[in-house]
């Protein structure tokens, strides 16, 4: 899967910075060129990326950490495995359709998530940044939160600390309500599961340290209109339209046979 | 955690404006030094914080996250954040992450200060 509808990168007259290859190129709107069969792509195509600045809800920084023995696992080992097997570490019922080329800057991945109430949500992320010891996924309009998640690993005091850090605001008032009514807890469980699975991949059993900081208690009421892009609403409408699409397909097939 | 190779010098340009000169790298590990610099620049009466990126060597996504946090703190104090000295590469990153919608980017310090003074003469 590939991104992108890009604006041409500005000509950089200076020497290329050492992180130039680590960042995604400028993107105006996301474009998913290859959609795996059976995967829904209703909330990513043509969407803009959103940082916490464009979100609605309170701003949170959530950090999940697991410690591994550095003599067995280096920081680069952790990130290499995390990139390669990213979907394998997710809890059941949630799917990450990794780009064919893997986690590379600018690539877009589709996600099918299960929310509280067994609600299915189709959305996606773009790889904003990737190097040997970290990578960052950024969300598009309509995702449950506006912001990014950085996965990183560092070696310190004989340990390799693997970390997932989310910097986010709920995208719209509905998601804000959902996060308040159990969504935050579910998200914590999600990333705690992922980090435990990552540690287990290295044959290590470890507890996950969780730190949650409310960076900004204010809600950005001017952003309530983000609800227009809500992947929850659009995914629900899409699911409700499934019988109609099935009948339509049936008739289309019959006509093709005749 | 390793400390980033960075210095943040603070200049008081006017009673309403503080400039932070960023030298080196901005990563997630720069949090303490960056927030300390912001606290020094953000004296009473300061209405605009100008970030000078002319000597920025490297910034990763953790660094962008720190700038968002700094922006939130400044907004809480009813301060504007402006920036200058960004290379084309980092300008693109500001656009990509849509940080440019909240941090006004200028070419030079003079432009930044003029813009800051227009709002708060």
Confidence grade of residue B98 (pLDDT, cut at 50, 70, 90): very high
Determine, for residues B87 and A14 on separate chains, whether the beta-carbon distance falls below 8 Å: yes
Is any Cβ of chain A less than 8 angstroms from the Cβ of B101? yes
Lowest mean per-residue pLDDT among A97-101, A160-164, A172-176, B114-118? A97-101
> Does the bond joining A4 to the residue before it have cis omega, within 30 degrees of 0?
yes
Mean pLDDT on B45-60: 94
Determine, for residues B65 and A50 on separate chains, whether the beta-carbon distance falls below 8 Å: no
How large is the angle between the packed helices A184-201 and A75-84, nearest 10 degrees?
110
Determine, for residues A54 and B101 on separate chains, whether the beta-carbon distance falls below 8 Å: yes
Distance CA A44, CA A58 (A): 24
Confidence grade of residue B13 (pLDDT, cut at 50, 70, 90): confident
Check: CB of residue A105 under 8 Å from CB of residue A3: no
Residue bearing tokens 């892009």 = A229
How close does chain A come to B110, measured CA to CA in Å? 22
Give the nearest chain B residue to A216 (CA atoms): B72
Mean pLDDT on A29-47: 81
Domains defined along chain B, listed by start? 6-113 (3.30.750.24)
What are the two backbone dihedrals, phi and then psi, of residue A94, each rounded to the nearest 5 degrees?
-120, 135
pLDDT of residue A241: 76
Check: CB of residue B18 under 8 Å from CB of residue B50: yes
Contact list in A for residue B92 (CB cut-off 8 A) is 9-10, 23, 25-26
| Residue A23 per-residue DSSP state | B
pLDDT of residue B111: 94
How close does chain A come to B107, measured CA to CA in Å? 15
Distance CA A106, CA A99 (A): 10
Whether pLDDT at A146 is above 80: yes
Is any Cβ of chain A less than 8 angstroms from the Cβ of B76? yes
pLDDT of residue A74: 96
Check: CB of residue B85 under 8 Å from CB of residue B53: yes
End-to-end CA distance of chain B: 42
* pLDDT (tens digit per residue) in B23-49: 999 988 899 999 999 999 998 899 999
pLDDT of residue A14: 53
Whether pLDDT at A3 is above 80: no
E strand or H helix at B117: helix B109-119
Supply B91's token pair.
Answer: 């300008």
Check: CB of residue A135 under 8 Å from CB of residue A39: no
Q: How far is CA A80 from CA A23, A73, A75, A102, A197, in A?
A: 17, 11, 9, 11, 15
- The DSSP string of B80-93 is EEEEE---HHHHHH
Q: Quick check: helix, strand or coil at residue B102?
A: coil
ipTM of the complex: 0.86
Lowest mean per-residue pLDDT among A12-16, A82-86, A161-165, B51-55? A12-16
Query: Alpha helices, DSSP H only, in chain A?
Result: 75-84, 173-178, 184-201, 231-240, 242-257
Q: How far is CA A6 from CA A51, B11, B98, B103, in A?
A: 18, 38, 15, 22
Determine, for residues A51 and B89 on separate chains, whether the beta-carbon distance falls below 8 Å: no
Distance CA A27, CA B93 (A): 10
Give the nearest chain B residue to A60 (CA atoms): B69
Contact list in A for residue B96 (CB cut-off 8 A) is 23-24, 26-27, 49, 128
Confidence grade of residue B66 (pLDDT, cut at 50, 70, 90): very high
Closest C-alpha among A128, A136, A126 to residue A164: A136
Candidates B2, B76, B96; nearest CB to A24: B96
* pLDDT (tens digit per residue) in A212-258: 999 999 999 999 999 898 888 888 887 777 777 777 777 776 665 55
How large is the angle between the packed helices B61-76 and B31-41, nearest 10 degrees?
30
Closest C-alpha among B44, B46, B37, B39 to residue B18: B46
Whether pLDDT at A36 is above 50: yes
Is any Cβ of chain A less than 8 angstroms from the Cβ of B95? yes
Give the nearest chain B residue to A21 (CA atoms): B89
Closest C-alpha among A188, A178, A174, A186 to residue A227: A174
Q: Quick check: helix, strand or coil at residue A60?
A: strand
Mean pLDDT on A85-90: 92
What are the two backbone dihedrals, phi and then psi, of residue B31, each rounded to the nearest 5 degrees?
-55, -50
How close does chain B come to A239, measured CA to CA in Å? 31
In sequence order, the β-bridge partners of residue B7 are: B23
pLDDT of residue A236: 81
Confidence grade of residue A40 (pLDDT, cut at 50, 70, 90): confident
Contact list in B for residue A134 (CB cut-off 8 A) is 60-62
Closest C-alpha among A102, A84, A119, A82 to residue A235: A119
Domains defined along chain A, listed by start? 19-243 (3.30.530.20)
Mean pLDDT on A108-115: 83
Question: pLDDT averaged over chain B?
Answer: 91
Q: Which residue has the higher pLDDT, A16 or B99?
A: B99
Q: Is A181 exposed, middle or buried (0-12, 13-18, 19+ CB in 10 A)?
A: exposed
Closest C-alpha among B65, B69, B67, B62 to residue B29: B62
Mean pLDDT on A134-161: 94
């Amino acid at each position: 899967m590939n991104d992108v509808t890009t604006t041409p990168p500005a000509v950089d007259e200076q020497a290329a910075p050492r992180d130039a290859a680590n960042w995604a190129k400028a993107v105006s709107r996301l474009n998913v060129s290859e959609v795996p069969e059976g995967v829904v792509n209703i909330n990513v195509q043509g969407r803009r990326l959103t940082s916490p600045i464009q979100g609605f809800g309170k701003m949170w920084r959530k950090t999940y950490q697991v410690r591994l023995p550095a003599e067995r696992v280096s920081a680069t080992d952790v990130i290499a495995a995390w990139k390669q097997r990213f979907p394998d570490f997710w809890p059941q019922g949630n799917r990450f359709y990794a780009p064919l080329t893997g986690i590379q800057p600018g690539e877009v991945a589709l996600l099918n998530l299960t929310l509280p109430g067994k609600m299915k949500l189709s959305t996606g992320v773009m790889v904003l940044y990737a190097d040997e010891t970290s990578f960052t996924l950024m969300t598009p309009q309509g995702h449950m939160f506006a912001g990014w998640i950085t996965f990183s690993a560092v070696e310190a005091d004989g340990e390799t600390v693997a970390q997932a850090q989310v910097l986010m605001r709920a995208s719209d008032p509905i998601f804000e309500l959902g996060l308040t009514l159990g969504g935050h807890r579910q998200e914590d469980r999600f990333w705690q599961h992922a980090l435990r699975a990552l540690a287990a991949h290295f044959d290590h059993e470890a507890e996950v340290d969780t730190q949650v900081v409310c960076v900004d208690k204010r809600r950005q009421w001017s952003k309530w209109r983000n609800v227009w892009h809500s992947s929850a609403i659009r995914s629900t409408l899409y699911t409700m339209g499934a019988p109609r699409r099935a009948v339509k397909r049936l008739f289309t097939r019959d006509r093709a046979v005749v | 955690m390793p400390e980033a190779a960075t210095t943040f010098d603070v200049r008081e340009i006017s009673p309403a404006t503080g400039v932070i000169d960023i030298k080196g790298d901005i990563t997630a590990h720069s949090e303490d030094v960056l927030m300390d610099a912001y606290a020094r620049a953000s004296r009473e009466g300061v209405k605009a914080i100008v970030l000078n990126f002319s000597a920025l060597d490297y910034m990763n996504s953790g660094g962008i996250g720190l700038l968002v946090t700094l922006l939130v703190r400044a907004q809480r104090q009813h301060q504007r954040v402006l920036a200058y000295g960004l290379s084309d590469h980092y300008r693109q990153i500001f656009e990509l992450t849509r940080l440019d919608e909240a941090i006004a980017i200028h070419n030079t310090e003079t432009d930044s200060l003029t813009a800051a003074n227009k709002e708060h003469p």
